[in-house]
Structure 1
Amino acid sequence: MRFDPWNPDFVAHPYDAYAELRRDAPVSYFEPTGQWLISRYADVNALLRDRRLGRAYLHTATHEEFGREPEPEFQEPFWRVVRAGMLDVEPPVHTRLRRLVSRAFTPRMVESLRPRVRAIAAGLVDTFVEKGGGDLIAEVAEPLPVTVIADMLGVPEADRPLLRPWSADICGMYELNPSPEAQHTAVRAADEFAGYLRGLARERASRPGEDLISALAQIDELTEDELVGTCVLLLNAGHEATVNVTGNGWWSLFRNPAELTRLREDRSLLPTAVEELMRWDTPLQMFERWVLEDIEVHGTRIPRGSEVALLFGSANRDPEVFADPDRLDVGRADNPHISFGAGIHFCLGAPLARIELIESFGALLDRADRLELLREPEWKPGYVIRGLHSLDLAVA
């Protein structure tokens, strides 16, 4: 099968196509999206760290100078939110934002959340088990990170049902060639979410509490747009990926029952299992970068103004780096997967994601002696952010 991100069969299993790309065309131009596909681990890893590439280019050139059409005017509310967060900016703005946000997102603070994460995971799993199962994604995978990030941000409980739909709608803009409907939906969600956060931030600036929005609202160097962009990023990045690692991960274990049995019998493998599940079927299959200066990869010149598509899913299965890469090994010790990225944009929330995943998987293994897959799940149509519609299980 060739690289075809709109083909449901490819989305369900892109790994054979990746193997062909790594072998025959490690650098190839994909006409439908106008991107250069980069498929080998060494190249993906190096380009993530290469400052001749960036998540944005408007700090160096106009759209016209990059040979790009300006975004339609209706998208302005979306880009205003996204380009105020640290993921879509470059130094020196990125350096300043990451430093400021890191003050309120310290490793000590994240680790202090573990008891709360454990309690939330236990409560969700207990309910799931007591009713004999259900859709693991809707009933466990989604509520856990949403509850955790809402607790961190200080979102009132009554408003929390708004967060997941906003997040999913905003992320629709990151798919390849999103439809006009998806674009308008993303713009609306970004505008609504930004308006909600502005109101909350102004309230916390005058009456601060013990939450992240309150902490960010006290930082003078952070503009209101930057605070909003940061909070949207924390929700989207810290939530969508964790949901999909959980769903993809359990589906991976069901397809590899010997590894599931191994994990049940040795719970000390949970940390390595979580890393392996992120490697074996990562939820973020592609990460895009703009070429700010001419580069050369494997003798292929990629000029300034181009966009490269770094194929994380392919890099994580590269046999040059991972022994027997198509085998799921929950005890894999040497596992430098790049599902959290690399370089200056390495995921700030990686420690929290690991806590959530270890506690979630552990709670289900502890409380459900036997899980039965009721039907083969279907993949959502998205390729860049890749996950299942549902995962229906019975608990025996």
Structure 2
Amino acid sequence: MTGSVVAFDPWSPSFVAWPYDAYAELRENSPVWQFPGTGQYLFSRHADVDALLRDRRLGRSYLHLATHEEMGHEPDAPHLEPFWTLIRNGMLDVEPPDHTRLRRLVSKAFTPRTVQRLTPRVQEFASDLVSELLDAGSDGSPVDLISTVAEPLPVAVIAEMLGIPESDRHLLRPWSADICGMYELNPSASAQATAVRASIEFTDYLVSLASERRSSPGDDLISALASVVDAGDQLTDGELVGTCVLLLNAGHEATVNVTGNGWWSLFRNPSELARLRAGEVGVGTAIEELMRWDTPLQMFERWVLEDIEVHGVRIPRGTEIGLLFGSANRDSAVFPDAARLDLGRFPNPHISFGAGIHFCLGAPLARVELGASFETMIRRVPGLALAETPRWKPGFIIRGLESLQVTVR
């Protein structure tokens, strides 16, 4: 169960471009495997990943139970303090009871009605961006689908939802990308420094904006988060900022990559793209399959809070594990003919949004954004075609394309 699987190399461009053969080997031969590169135990089967996401013997953090030293780890490096302060003020990287409290408060502001109210604006944004794509490619020259449509759409939606002034919205994407660099395996010193700088700048910006909204609230999520009260409890400034950053990072990075990876998947599977264009399958069903077939978040990490044993392998307290979403979503034990892209696949119990208490709060909004984007592209750009083979970014965990050059006629 713990034998060497040489093919797993998250720093290799060829592996990042296509990790699925290595995943198949892991699922078959080493469903629990300790990766020498990080010391993490990796889980590749759907049943294990799904169960461990819900297992309360694991957590995104252990600091509610013990110090770093008590868990056998080095304390946080002092120069990373701004990053960790920001991240640990959001609900993703805390555990109950703090997580329960934060999710309850945020859910009171980030409601289904919020998403419903945004839906017409999402469609408007998508329509405008597709118009820009058509204009840019009207002479037959290649256009980058990522920078023209995939990236601007979720940033515009999150900025609109939060109430970020138009003049400041260009700041969000760079801050998000720089902060998310810390989620890769063994980030470089340069990536760490960049993430710290972005954390400081983003925190300062949002603290100032939240202060304005507390004194002069508007019809936006920052105002709602600043004023939400439940049984006398409310978010601190740090928690409000951490929540806004989480909404941007989680709601933006994944949506961009579902769009880019999804269209690249469709170009590689022209018969499925033809089904979608002909209306044989619905856009919503197709999007679920695109999230499964080429998953935007390939791995999600957890800490072992008390000793566990899986498939006869004992994993001690304080160990970090990696849950391979991309592998779980290709598990033939759950998905018949799992290696095949089938846009009409149903049921489709993929775990691209996670599971358990950390299930993505923004999943409904992400589905609205993706639905608007793909539906508008299918309807208005029937001649969309690949112009050149894309290159992947070097990141493995948050996995996406550098660009996707297309022609529109």
Structure 1 gaps, min length 5: none
Q: 1:7 aligns with which of 1, 8, 12?
A: 12
Between the aligned partners of 1:315 and 1:62, the Cα distance in structure 2 is 32
Q: 2:161 aligns with which of 130, 152, 161?
A: 152
1:267–1:362: 8 Å Cα contact kept in structure 2?
A: no
Between the aligned partners of 1:210 and 1:267, the Cα distance in structure 2 is 40
Q: Pick which of 322-331 and 365-374 moved more.
A: 365-374
Partner SS, residue 38 of structure 2 = coil
Runs (4+) of structure 1 exceeding 2 A deviation are none
Q: 2:179 aligns with which of 170, 173, 190?
A: 170
Distance 1:227 1:267, change over 3 A: farther
Q: 1:97 aligns with which of 99, 102, 108?
A: 102
Q: Pick which of 220-229 and 75-84 moved more.
A: 220-229
Q: Which amino acid is the alignment partner of residue 225 of structure 1?
A: G
Q: 1:277 aligns with which of 290, 293, 302?
A: 290
Partner SS, residue 196 of structure 1 = helix
Q: Pick which of 261-270 and 83-92 moved more.
A: 261-270
The TM-score with structure 2 as length reference comes to 0.96
Structure 2 gaps, min length 5: 1-5
Distance 1:305 1:249, change over 3 A: same
**Aligned pairs for 1:245-256 within 5 A:** 245-256=258-269
| Offset, 1:267 | 6.6
1:374–1:394: 8 Å Cα contact kept in structure 2?
A: yes
Partner SS, residue 37 of structure 1 = strand
1:333 equivalent in alignment to 2:346: yes
Between the aligned partners of 2:135 and 2:186, the Cα distance in structure 1 is 43
Between the aligned partners of 1:197 and 1:379, the Cα distance in structure 2 is 32
2:89–2:239: 8 Å Cα contact kept in structure 1?
A: yes
| Offset, 1:111 | 2.0
| Count of aligned pairs between the two proteins | 396
1:110 equivalent in alignment to 2:119: no
**Aligned pairs for 1:1-396 within 5 A:** 2-132=7-137, 134-220=143-229, 221-266=234-279, 269-396=282-409
| Offset, 1:381 | 0.1
Q: Which amino acid is the alignment partner of residue 260 of structure 2?
A: G
1:39–1:311: 8 Å Cα contact kept in structure 2?
A: yes
Root-mean-square deviation over aligned CA pairs: 0.9
The TM-score with structure 1 as length reference comes to 0.99
1:135–1:393: 8 Å Cα contact kept in structure 2?
A: yes
| Offset, 1:213 | 0.3
Q: Which amino acid is the alignment partner of residue 108 of structure 2?
A: R
| Offset, 1:231 | 0.3
| Offset, 1:268 | 5.1
Between the aligned partners of 1:235 and 1:301, the Cα distance in structure 2 is 37
| Offset, 1:126 | 1.1
Q: Pick which of 366-375 and 201-210 moved more.
A: 366-375
Identity %: 70
